[in-house]
Amino acid sequence: MNNPMKKKVYDFINNNPIFIKFIYGLIILNVVALILQSYEELRVSYSDFFNSFELFSVIVFTIEYVLRLWTSDLDPSYKGNSFQKRIKFIFSKFGLIDLFAILPFYLPFIFPFDLRILRILRLFRLLRIFKLGRYSKSLKTISSVLKETRSELSITLFIAFILLVLSSTLMYYFENDVQPEKFASIGHSFWWAVATLTTVGYGDVYPITGIGKILSAIIALIGIGFVALPTGIISSAFIEKIQKDRKENRICKCPNCGTEYKN
């Protein structure tokens, strides 16, 4: 038998537009605060404000996490009994994001950390931006598109990896004798291959032999088309997804009776 209070809480945290906008705005403010804290003068001058805002944010996100854990057995996407559903929520994508977004705040109270480790833990606050995936329709659409095109993208990335390994290996044998400090190993050459294939070309590492320059030119030309390939796959799927959603949500009205229905 379902608890009426639990059902109200579940509907509130998942469907109430005011609560959703509040959490959405709080996440954005957390990201802004994290950026502002990187400026030493602001961090020193407004340290009390930043600490208070962090405490407020952690309290809100902790309450949200506890409520989501408590009501997770009402989520129809989870199968099993109440305990199994809560375990599935804890290890779900958004469950882990919610947990890691607040965990760094509590860990120093439990375990003594070196200050350097503590600074690294604070970076986990940036994970709060991924909480937007639960509320943002745009992020949900992007996530859906990436899932639908994962097989095509996997093939593209696999071919890219083979091409990177092949080109970095060849460049190592072509350039190692004349530039042993820059092409000291295939691993060092891999950095050159990535910069060249993506057409970034930082210019810190480049070939000076004739055969090396020819290989570099070939890789650069391949990169022009190859980098555009996953972009085209994602763009095509994204446009198709938007058109599909618009078609499903299109409301038509009967000219005779005035009844509205989805077309």
Do residues 85 and 206 share a domain? no
- Tell whether pTM > 0.85: no
For residue 140, being part of any structural domain is answered with: no
SS3 state at 45: helix
Q: How far apart are CA 195 and CA 205, in angstroms?
A: 9
209-247 pLDDT tens trace: 999 899 888 888 888 877 778 888 888 888 888 787 777
Three-state DSSP at 252 gives: strand
CA dihedral sign of residues 128, 134, 137, 143: positive
**Comparing C-alpha atoms, which of 24, 242, 16 is closest to residue 133?**
24
Q: Tell me, yes or no, whether 250 lies in a domain.
A: yes
Count Cβ neighbours within 10 Å for each residue of 22-48 and write b for 16 or more, e otherwise: ebeebbeebeebbeebeeeeeeeebee
Structural domain harbouring 129: 4-135
Distances (CA, A) of 58 to 10, 61, 119, 173: 20, 5, 17, 54
pLDDT, position 76: 85
Cβ-Cβ contacts under 8 Å for 207 (sequence gap 6 or more)? 171, 174, 175, 179, 192, 213, 215, 216
Residue 262 three-state SS: strand
User: Are residues 209 and 180 both part of a single domain?
Assistant: yes
Whether residue 193 is contained in a domain is answered as: yes
Among 209, 162, 177, 170, residue whose Cα is nearest residue 192: 170
Answer whether residue 142 is part of any domain: no
Give the model confidence (pLDDT) of 28-41 as tens digits.
Answer: 898 888 889 888 89
Rounded Cα gap, residues 195 and 220, in angstroms = 9
Q: How many domains does the chain have?
A: 2
| Residue 263: per-residue pLDDT | 52
Contact 92, 84 (CB under 8 A): no
**Do 16 and 114 have their domain in common?**
yes
Residue 129, pLDDT score: 72
162 in the same domain as 102: no
Considering the domain boundaries, does residue 145 fall inside one? no
The CATH number of the domain holding residue 75 is 1.20.120.350
pLDDT score at 249:
63
With a CB cutoff of 8 Å and minimum separation 6, the contacts of 104 are 121, 122, 124, 125
Q: Is the domain of 125 the same as that of 228?
A: no
Residues of the chain with pLDDT under 50: 1
What CATH code is carried by the domain that includes residue 199?
Answer: 1.10.287.70
Same structural domain, 13 and 112 = yes
Do residues 8 and 131 both lie within one domain?
Answer: yes
Residues 186 and 255 in one domain: yes
Query: Does any domain span residue 38?
Result: yes
In a domain, 144, yes or no: no
Residue 105 shares a structural domain with residue 163:
no
